[in-house]
Structure 1
Amino acid sequence: MNRPLFRLLVVLVSVVVSLGVISAASATTSRHCGITWGSLPKTSEAADTEMVFGVRAGRHACFDRLVIDVGGQDTTFGSYDVRYVPLVLEDGSGRPVPVRGAADLQIVVGAPAYDEYGNPTFLPADRQEVVNVSGFTTFRQVAWAGSFEGSTTLALGVRARLPFRVFTVPGTPQSDDTPRLVIDVAHAW
Structure 2
Amino acid sequence: MRKATVVWLAAATLLLTSCGGTTGPESPDGTDAADTAPDSSPTVTVTQTTTVPADGTPDGSGNGADASSCEVTEDWTLLPDVKPGSSGDPIREVRTGRHDCFDRVVFDIHGTDEVGFDVQYQPEVRQPGSGRPMPVAGDAALRVIVRSSAQGAPGSGSEEPLAAMGEHFVPESELADWGALRSVRYAGWFEGQVTFALGVREELPFRAFTWLNEDRGVREVVVDIAHDPN
**Matched residue, 2:225:** 185
**Distance in 1 of aligned mates of 2:220 and 2:160:** 15
Residue correspondence of structure 1 range 156-167 to structure 2 within 5 A = 156-167=198-209
Q: Distance in 2 between the 1:87 and 1:48 partners?
A: 26
Per the TM alignment, residue 66 of structure 1 is displaced from its structure 2 partner at its CA by: 0.2
Which structure has more RCO (C-alpha within 8 Å, separation ≥ 6)?
Answer: 1
Between the aligned partners of 2:135 and 2:226, the Cα distance in structure 1 is 21
1: distance between equivalents of 2:92 and 2:70? 34
User: Which of 107, 121, 124 is equivalent to 1:84?
Assistant: 121
Where has structure 1 moved over 3 Å in runs of 4 or more? 30-34, 117-122, 125-128
- The unaligned stretches of length 5 or more in structure 2 are 1-68
2:89 corresponding residue in structure 1: 50
Given candidates 147, 156, 175, the residue that maps to 1:110 is 147
Q: Higher strand proportion, which one?
A: 2
Query: Aligned residue for 1:176?
Result: 216
Deviation, 1:76, is: 3.6
1:67 aligns with 2:106: yes
1:124 aligns to what? 163
Preserved contact between residue 53 and residue 70 of structure 1 (Cα < 8 Å): yes
Equivalent position SS for 2:134? coil
User: Match of 1:170, SS?
Assistant: strand
**1:90-144 deviations in Å (ceiling 9; x for gaps):** 0111100000110000000001212516744642268331124523211111111
Q: Distance in 2 between matches of 1:171 and 1:32?
A: 25
Distance of aligned partners of 1:100 and 1:32 in 2 relative to their CA distance in 1, 3 Å threshold: farther
Identify if the C-alpha distance between structure 1 residues 158 and 34 changes in structure 2 by more than 3 Å, giving closer, same or farther: closer
Aligned 8 A contact 2:91 2:148 in 1: yes
Larger radius of gyration: 1
Q: Report the CA distance shift for 1:54/1:117 in structure 2 as closer, same or farther (over 3 A).
A: closer
1:99 to 132, 136, 142: 136
Residue 185 (structure 2) pairs with residue 143 (structure 1)? yes
Corresponding letter in the other structure for 1:68: F
Counterpart contact for 1:171–1:178, Cα < 8 Å: yes
Which amino acid counterpart does residue 185 of structure 2 have in structure 1?
Answer: A
Q: Percent identity?
A: 39
1:153-176: CA deviations, max 9, x gaps? 00000000000000000131xx53
Q: Distance in 1 between matches of 2:165 and 2:86?
A: 30
TM-score by length of 2: 0.62
Q: Which has the higher helix share?
A: 1
Taking structure 1 as the reference length, the TM-score comes to 0.75
**Preserved CA contact (<8 Å) 1:84 1:103:** yes
Query: Matches of 1:105 and 1:64 in 2, distance apart?
Result: 13
